[in-house]
Amino acid sequence: MSQHAAGPLGAARVAGRRPSTDAGYIRESLAQVAELAALLITDDSIRAEPVPDISQTLELLNVPGSALDALALAEMTVALAAMRVVASDLKRLDTSHAARRTASLRVDPPARELESTLAKSISPDGQVLGGQNGFGEFALTAREPPIDYMAHVTINLTGAPAGAYVLGLTVHDTNSGKAASADLPALFGRG
C-alpha cells in the first residue's frame, strides 16, 4: 500500500500504521476513508502533495539560536507550498462537499509571506539568490587594541523585485577569529 503514497514521508506514514482493536477509532477511521473515497470518485482535483522530509529541520528549529542552511530553507519552502495547497483543498472540500471528517484534518498554514520570502531568497536547489561574500577587507592600525570598530556600508539592491527582505551583514575579525552579524528588515516597492 505504501508504494502508492505521494512521497517517502507518506509511504513511511502508511507503513507505520498499526492495527487497532478500538471499535470507536476503527468506525471513525472507516467513515473518514469512505468520505474521502467518495470525494475522489467525484472530484479528480484532489491530490496529495509530495514533500521532503523536514523532521530534522523542525527539530533543529526547536533549539534556541539555531540556524538553517540554504538547502534546509529550500526544503521548508517546498513543504510550506505543499501545506498551502493541501489546506486549500481541504477547505474547499468542506465548503463544496460538506466533507467534515476530511476537512477536520486541515491545519492553517503559516503566513504566506514566509513562503514568499523563502522562495525569493533561496532557489529550489538551495542556492542563495542574493548576497556577496568576501566583498571587502579593511585594515585598522592602532597603538592600543581597538575596543570598537565602525564602518559605513552601502548595500545596493538595484533590480531586486518588490517584497520584504532581511539584509544580513557579517563582519569577521581575522585577528581574533570572532564575527559579528546584523540583520536589517527591509521592504521594497510597496506604497
Q: In terms of Cα–Cα distance, which of 70, 75, 76, 109 is closest to 91? A: 109
Give how far Cα 161 sits from Cα of 73, 91, 114, 120, 155, Å. Answer: 20, 31, 16, 9, 15
Mean pLDDT of 131-136: 69
Question: CA–CA separation, 89 vs 66, rounded Å?
Answer: 33
Q: pLDDT at residue 74 above 60?
A: yes
SS3 164: strand
* Residue 191 confidence class, pLDDT cut points 50, 70, 90: very low
Q: In terms of Cα–Cα distance, which of 38, 25, 24, 44 is closest to 98? A: 38
User: For the whole prediction, is pTM greater than 0.75?
Assistant: no
